[in-house]
Every structure is written in structure tokens, then in C-alpha cells.
Structure 1
Amino acid sequence: MIKFYRKIRQKLLSENKFGKYLAYAIGEIVLVVIGILIALYINNRNQIRLFEERTDILMNEVLLDLENLIKASNYQLDFYSNKQIIFDLILNNKLTYDDYSSNKYPNLSTATTWYNGGLKQRMAYDNLTKEINAIPEKYKPVFKDLSLLYSNKFNENYRDLIENMSNENMKKRADKYEWYSYSGSYSENKEMFDYMLNDYLYKNEVKHYATIVNFHIGYILGDKNRAQKSYKEISTLLNKPIDDDIIDYNLDLFKNLVGEWETEMAPGIIVTVYEDKKRLFYKDNIDSIVGQFHIISNKKLINENRVFFTIVNEQDEIVVKQTGGINWKKVK
């Protein structure tokens, strides 16, 4: 092909057709440039395709980490919902000696020493950040949301704080109280029960611990909400189905809760629970301020004020028990 073009140029020169030669040479250059541009375009498209394929792989790994984070958050919130019941009983002097000795409430004696620590799995996100400059444009908004989630350290900081407090509380008891090493039956550890029922310093310890836990609950819920937002965005970009359990959508639960509710503790107040875009909201008939419920399990909810709600069935009637001893019953 090159020899063919060379012969044409030589013929034009030998015939003194310089103008035609020049036009031909320019045309040949243009064709070469066009060929180069086409090759670059194809190569660029191939690079983009490879980057997208690589990003899709990383995003699938991030998606799995987000699912695990959401599930771990629900587990932590469920753990703390049980803690809050115990805190309320202790701080409001609702417990008796028999409550401790019979072990009526599991983990009652470890209210300030037993903790649940969860870690964000971030390897997939860290791998993604290493290739930030090659990430296709369509993923950039999602990356910003992920950055907010993984750069927020409050959840981990409070988890570490609670772990340290729990260990310090155990050490304090080991250093100060003979009953700590009691090896007999738990139900006969009378000195420990007396300490937990009557010692004001223990009540102060519980109050402080409960306050820190309450802050931690807020940060866990915040991480969960951000993880759910990113999960939905990434699933959509990857054309993957969205798992309703991951985004707190439970059709049967919603059907049971949607309606009007009242409590004997606040006569005249009616709370309306309703669904909107697969989310569960509520408002009362006093100020109409809208709040949102977040599902922990098929029997537990939490609102944005960090108040827990447990769904129970009493005599074929659904009752929602709010932390603090408030029971809600459905009006209609």
C-alpha cells in the first residue's frame, strides 16, 4: 500500500503536476491523521470499557461491605435496645433482689461491662480510592457519599470509648469488691446484688454509661442510613435488584403498623403511622411534626430520636412497647 502511494506521488512529480501532488500529499496526511484519531478513539473506548469493568468489580465488593455494615448496624441497635430496657429499670429503681437472683433479665449484672463492638469493613472502599482518577464519571456522585460514610469516625470512636469504659468498670470491681471473685451460684451472690441495688456510685456508673451508649446509637443509625443510601445508588448503577430487607422495607410489618395509635400515658394524643416510598413515617395530632421509623428487625424499630419500639402480640392484638414503659395500641 505504501509503495502504491509512493508511485502516485512520483508520477505526479515526473509530470510536473506539483499542484496536484501537493493536494494529494495533504490529502494523504489528512487520511493518516484521521486513521490515528480513529485508532486513539478505539483505544480510548477500550480503556474506558476496562476502567468501567474494573470499577464494576470494585463496586460489587463495596456493595457487599455495605450490606454487611447495615446488618451489623441492626445487630448493634438490637443489642442496645435491650441495654436501654435494663438502664431504665436500674435508674428508675424498678428492680428487686429477686430480679437479680432469678436472672429474670438476661445480662442484668453486666449492664456496664458487656459491650458489642462492630467494625466497618473498608478494604473494598480503600481499593476504590486507589483508582479514584480512573473512576468513570457516572460513579463520582456515589464515591462522594461513600467518602462521607467511611471518613466519619464517630461510630468507631464511641465504640472504642465504650470498650474502654467496660474494661475499666470490670477492673474497678476486681480491685475493690470481694464479691467479684465469688465462685458460688450466681443466684446466691448477695453482696453483688446489694451493691447493684443500693450503691449510688453504681447508679452513677450506669447513668454515665447509658449517656455514652445513647450517643453511640445516634452514630450507628447515621452510618446505617448513609450505607443504605449508597447501597441503593450502587445497586441501581450496577442494574442489580435492591434487597428490601437491606433498605428497611417489610411489607407485612408496614401493613400492621400503618394506622392510628394511642397510649394511656398521653390521653388525647393520636399518632398516625404511614408509608411513603417504602419508608415508614409518623406524626401526631398535636404539632404534626413528621418523624421516621427505622427497622431493626421484624419486631423492633427505632426513630431518629434514638427511641426504641418493640412489637408484641398480646391477646391477638398488636402492641408497640416504647422504651420507658409506654405502650401503644392501634385505634384503627
Structure 2
Amino acid sequence: MIKFFRRIRKTLFSENTPGGPSGKFGKYLLYAIGEIALVMIGILLALQVNNWNEQRKADKAESKALVALKNEFELNIERLEFICAERDSAQEDRRAHYDIIANDTIPIETKVRSNVKGYFGGRWAIQNTVLNGLVNSGAIDNIKNDSLKTLLTLWPNMVQRWIAAEDKYNSLKERMQDYERTRLRQGIPNRLNDKRGYTFKDSWEQYYSRKAFIVNDLEYQNFVASDIEMLYQQSIICNRIMQNYNQIITALNSEIQNRKIK
């Protein structure tokens, strides 16, 4: 390209254009101006090529990040969906249990037989390696979709709300377990064998007596009510996280489809 411009310049100098510079000084001046123009054109072309290369690299890195983000979010939500389903089921079970023990018209025998089911109480083992890497490195600013970028920056706050709710709920569970351990799970230790140690086993009469006490105990009823309330709050947070996730995954899929990323 530079050689092409240079040939044109030499052709112009070799011609005697009317009104053009005359003498050696004029020719040198035109020659110098031409050289400067050629250098400027060369610099601009080099900068343009460099910008194209840098943009191509940035686009490639962004495409790779979009796919990695999609995979990470889908894995995280798969785990959360399972946990939330378990918590919703536990909430329904505890509401039914509370309706029985808090009703003074229901016979004590029915209250004693009422129990809450066990459920998966694990934590949400969320992995935000890709997102955290983009945020910490500043590479998240390279994402051109402003709506997607805003949703991604809001995601950590949603996660922290869930973690805080989990911590609060686990604290309640520990207190409730301590309550039941001291008031219900008692009895005379029976030696099983040297390896397994001791087990505690009550007679039905002992268990019935203790269970009849706690189902009518206001402290126990408050524990169950708090359990329900915290499970309900987690359900609300879970729904909001799912809404945020659906918006993020829709934006990611749109970007990946528009870029024709495989």
C-alpha cells in the first residue's frame, strides 16, 4: 500500500503541473511533505491492523468466557434446584406437623404420632470460578452486552443472600436438635459391642411420655414455627435467584447464538 502511494507521488513530481512549485526548493518541499504523509499513512494503517488484531483476540476471549459462564451457571442452578425442591417439600411437611401440634382440639395420641420427615440439608456448593476470575481480572468489562454485564454483577449479591439465609437456618437446626436431644432422645445406654459403643433405647412408654410433653411445649412449637418461616424465606430467595439465573442464561444463549459459537 505504501509503495503504491509512493509511485503516485513520484509520478506527480515528474510532471510539470501548472501553478505547481518551481525550482529545487519547491520540489524538495513537496517531496518532504509526501514522505511525511506516507509515514503518517503507514502509522495509521499499522495502528488499524493492530486494533483489528486486538479486537479479534478480545472477541475470541469473550466468546470463550461466555461459553464457560453458561456451563458454570447451569451446573450451579442444577444443584440449587435440587436443594430448593427439598426445602419446599420440608416446608410443607413441617406446616402439616405444626397444624397438628398447635391444635388444642386434636387428641394427644395423634400429636405424638406426628413426625417431621428428614430431608437433604446440605449446603449449596456453588462454584463461581469463571465469574470471579472475570471480575477480579477486570475482564468482565470486555463483555459488550450491558444488560448481561449488569446481571452478572448482581449475581454475587444474590448468592450472599442465600448463604446468609443458610447460615441462619443451620443455626436454628442446631438449637432445635439440642432441644430434642435433651428432652426426647434419652434412655438407658445399652452396650452393643466394643466397636460400636453404646446406643440409647427407650421403652414405648418412656418415648410416649417425653413426646407428649414436647408436642405441647410452647418452646418446641416456636422452634417448628421458626423452621417453617426460615424455609419460606429461603424459598423466596431461591425464586429470585432463579429469576436472575433465567435472565442471565437467556442473555448468554442469545450472545452465543449471535456469535455462532459452537
| TM-score, scaled to structure 1 | 0.58
- CA change 1:234–1:53 in 2 (3 A) is same
3-state DSSP class of the match of 1:138? coil
> Unaligned regions of 5+ residues in structure 1, if any?
241-332
Residue 208 of structure 1 pairs with residue 208 of structure 2: no
> Unaligned regions of 5+ residues in structure 2, if any?
15-21, 190-198
Offset, 1:186: 11
Q: 2:166 aligns with which of 117, 140, 159?
A: 159
Offset, 1:215: 1.1
State the partner residue of 2:240.
222
CA contact (8 A) 1:70 1:228 kept: no
Residue 67 of structure 1 pairs with residue 74 of structure 2: yes
CA contact (8 A) 1:91 1:203 kept: yes
CA contact (8 A) 2:98 2:225 kept: yes
- CA change 1:223–1:135 in 2 (3 A) is same
Q: Percent identity?
A: 17
Offset, 1:135: 3.8
Deviates more, 1:181-190 or 1:142-151: 181-190
Residue 19 of structure 1 pairs with residue 26 of structure 2: yes
Residue 190 of structure 1 pairs with residue 202 of structure 2: no
Offset, 1:54: 1.5
CA contact (8 A) 1:158 1:216 kept: yes
Distance of 2:64 and 2:215 partners within structure 1: 56
Q: 1:126 aligns with which of 128, 132, 150?
A: 132
CA contact (8 A) 1:91 1:206 kept: yes
Point out the structure with the larger helix share: 2
Deviates more, 1:85-94 or 1:18-27: 85-94
Residues 175-228 of structure 1: per-residue CA shift (max 9 Å, x gap): 454538863499894356435533332111100111121111111111111011
State the partner residue of 2:175.
168
3-state DSSP class of the match of 1:183? strand
Residue 115 of structure 1 pairs with residue 121 of structure 2: yes
CA contact (8 A) 2:186 2:201 kept: no
Point out the structure with the larger strand share: 1
- CA change 1:127–1:207 in 2 (3 A) is same
Q: 2:150 aligns with which of 121, 127, 144?
A: 144
Q: 1:41 aligns with which of 45, 48, 62?
A: 48
State the partner residue of 2:60.
53
Amino acid at match of 1:75: F
3-state DSSP class of the match of 2:257? coil
Distance of 2:241 and 2:140 partners within structure 1: 27
- CA change 1:166–1:40 in 2 (3 A) is same
Amino acid at match of 1:121: Q
Distance of 2:34 and 2:126 partners within structure 1: 61
Amino acid at match of 2:250: K
Amino acid at match of 1:67: E
| TM-score, scaled to structure 2 | 0.72
Offset, 1:34: 1.1
CA contact (8 A) 1:145 1:226 kept: yes
CA contact (8 A) 2:69 2:130 kept: yes
Count residues in correspondence.
226
| Aligned CA-pair RMSD | 3.5
Offset, 1:43: 1.0
3-state DSSP class of the match of 2:186? helix
